[in-house]
């Protein structure tokens, strides 16, 4: 029983740090996209501000929150991604590819960590770091 618990803790810890490392990478890449060129807020349209509120700002906030509260942070990240696709894809009729999902991938990992920590076998066996 102890070996199973130790293996589970090691797997949860690895998954948690994979999500955290992915969130750092994703946030850094998003910041490079935003601030890599001269940032001119006056040239951004209202439609673009709505999109920026969800992607990348909502994603970044969600990933930062997920470092402390995995479930809440994953929810913010994935809700922001969904809202971004709804606003641009359905409401504005823009064609969006799947590349935005790649930036939100750590949110899915945080969601997996959170769900495994609350699963039937994980409750009480997680290792906090």
pLDDT tens digit string along 78-103?
999 999 988 888 777 777 778 899 99
Average pLDDT, the chain: 86
Q: What angle do CA 118, 81, 84 make, to 5 degrees?
A: 155
Entry pTM: 0.83
Contact 66, 59 (CB under 8 A): no
Dist. CA 23–CA 62, nearest whole Å: 10
For the chain, percent of residues with pLDDT exceeding 70: 86
Dist. CA 108–CA 44, nearest whole Å: 30
According to the model, what pLDDT value does residue 55 have?
92
Q: Which pair of tokens denotes residue 23?
A: 């969130």
Contact 77, 110 (CB under 8 A): yes
Mean pLDDT value of segment 61-65: 97
Residue 32, number of CB atoms within 10 A of its CB: 10
Q: Does residue 24 carry a pLDDT above 70?
A: yes
């Amino acid at each position: 029983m102890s070996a199973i618990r130790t293996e589970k803790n090691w797997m949860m810890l690895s998954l948690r740090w994979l999500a955290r490392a992915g969130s750092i990478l994703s946030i850094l890449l998003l910041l490079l996209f935003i601030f890599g060129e001269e940032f001119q807020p006056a040239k951004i349209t209202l439609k673009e501000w709505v999109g920026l509120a969800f992607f990348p700002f909502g994603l970044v906030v969600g990933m930062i929150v997920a470092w402390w509260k995995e479930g809440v942070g994953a929810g913010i990240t994935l809700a922001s991604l969904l809202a971004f696709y709804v606003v641009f894809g359905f409401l504005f009729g823009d064609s969006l590819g799947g590349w935005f999902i790649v930036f939100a991938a750590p949110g899915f990992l945080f969601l997996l960590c959170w769900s495994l920590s609350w699963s039937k076998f994980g409750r009480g066996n997680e290792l906090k770091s």
